[in-house]
């Protein structure tokens, strides 16, 4: 497969399902007693999914469950094992989907690329668009998993850490910070962390505004460029963040759609930043 875009359409996937591995990366939010937690989307996947798809557990398997914060990115060794567990080998073409607005698919897409696998694409509109078009679904645990070998090699330039972001805030490093959370969370009006707000100097491009409400697909490139106009006008590289590095991956994906390849995702995001009382919030 050859495409300049990180996206594939539902029509393309319908025509090429036999030649790719489809992964469903859905994770479900759970809000109770004023706290936000997460649960696996496996049960929903087994109720119905794109035929032949396999479930990719971003909550546990494709993250480091021993990390201090949810969705901490895994080591190369752990990622290799995770990829092999869903039948993705070194030469496999992967199409990632989810049952939400694409944040989970974007996170898994970013992880694959950061570990050296370029044959990975996001299903534009995800399973919501697939179902809305009355395309076939099947129930059950998913397609069979063949034995494969995946060689993960961590690439530079994909991730930012707390020290890097602090250097940007203090002016020791040049970068444009973009927060992918909602305007209410960006302003500190709402949020689930004890310290609310955003990293000083950040722009706000909410991941929820990147997709069409009617189709769940990404907006046209021209409209995405308008949303990111302030960041695109600056010559500096970009660092995206959110609460835990998930919505930030959607912003990174949208930036890739419009041709920006100098983006890094702050993996710990506000879960890490806000937990350190020494660090400023606006």
pLDDT at 2: 39
pLDDT at 144: 83
Contact 195, 176 (CB under 8 A): no
User: Along the 282 residues of the chain, how does pLDDT read in single tens digits?
Assistant: 335 799 999 999 999 999 999 999 999 999 888 888 999 999 999 999 999 999 999 999 999 999 999 999 999 999 999 999 999 999 999 999 999 999 999 999 999 999 999 999 999 999 999 999 999 999 999 878 999 999 999 999 999 999 999 999 999 999 999 999 999 999 999 998 989 999 999 999 999 999 999 999 999 999 999 999 999 999 999 999 999 999 999 999 999 999 999 999 999 999 999 999 999 999
**Exposed, middle or buried by CB within 10 Å (0-12, 13-18, 19+), for 233?**
exposed
From CA 172, how far away is CA 156, in angstroms rounded?
A: 20
Q: Categorise residue 62: left if φ over 0, alpha if ψ from -120 to 50, beta otherwise.
A: alpha
Considering Cα of 161, then 164, then 168, then 174, what sign does the dihedral take?
Answer: negative
Contact 276, 168 (CB under 8 A): no
pLDDT at 11: 98
The set of catalytic residues is 242
pLDDT at 1: 39
CB atoms within 10 A of CB 219: 17
**Exposed, middle or buried by CB within 10 Å (0-12, 13-18, 19+), for 243?**
buried
């Amino acid at each position: 497969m050859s495409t300049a875009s990180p996206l594939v359409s539902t029509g393309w996937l319908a025509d090429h399902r036999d030649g790719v591995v489809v992964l469903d990366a859905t994770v479900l939010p759970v809000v109770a007693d004023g706290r936000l937690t997460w649960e696996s989307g496996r049960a929903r996947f087994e109720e119905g999914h794109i035929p032949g798809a396999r479930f990719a557990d971003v909550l546990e398997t494709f993250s480091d469950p021993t990390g201090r914060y949810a969705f901490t990115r895994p080591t190369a060794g752990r990622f290799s094992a995770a990829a092999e567990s869903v039948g993705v080998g070194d030469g496999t073409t992967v199409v990632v989907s989810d049952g939400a607005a694409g944040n989970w698919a974007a996170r898994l897409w970013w992880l694959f690329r950061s570990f050296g696998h370029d044959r990975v694409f996001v299903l534009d509109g995800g399973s919501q668009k697939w179902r809305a078009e009355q395309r076939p679904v099947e129930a059950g645990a998913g397609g069979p998993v063949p034995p494969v070998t995946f060689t993960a090699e961590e690439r530079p330039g994909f991730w930012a850490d707390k020290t890097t972001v602090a250097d940007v805030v203090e002016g020791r490093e040049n970068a444009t910070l973009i927060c992918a959370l909602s305007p209410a969370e960006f302003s500190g009006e709402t949020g689930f962390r004890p310290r609310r707000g955003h990293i000083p100097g950040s722009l706000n491009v909410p991941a929820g505004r990147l997709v069409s409400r009617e189709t769940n697909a990404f907006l046209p490139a021209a409209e995405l460029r308008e949303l990111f106009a302030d960041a695109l006008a600056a010559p500096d590289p970009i660092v995206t963040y959110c609460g835990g590095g998930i919505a930030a991956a959607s912003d990174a994906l949208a930036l890739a759609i419009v041709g920006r390849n100098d983006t890094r995702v702050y993996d710990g995001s506000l879960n890490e930043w806000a937990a350190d009382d020494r660090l400023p919030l606006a």
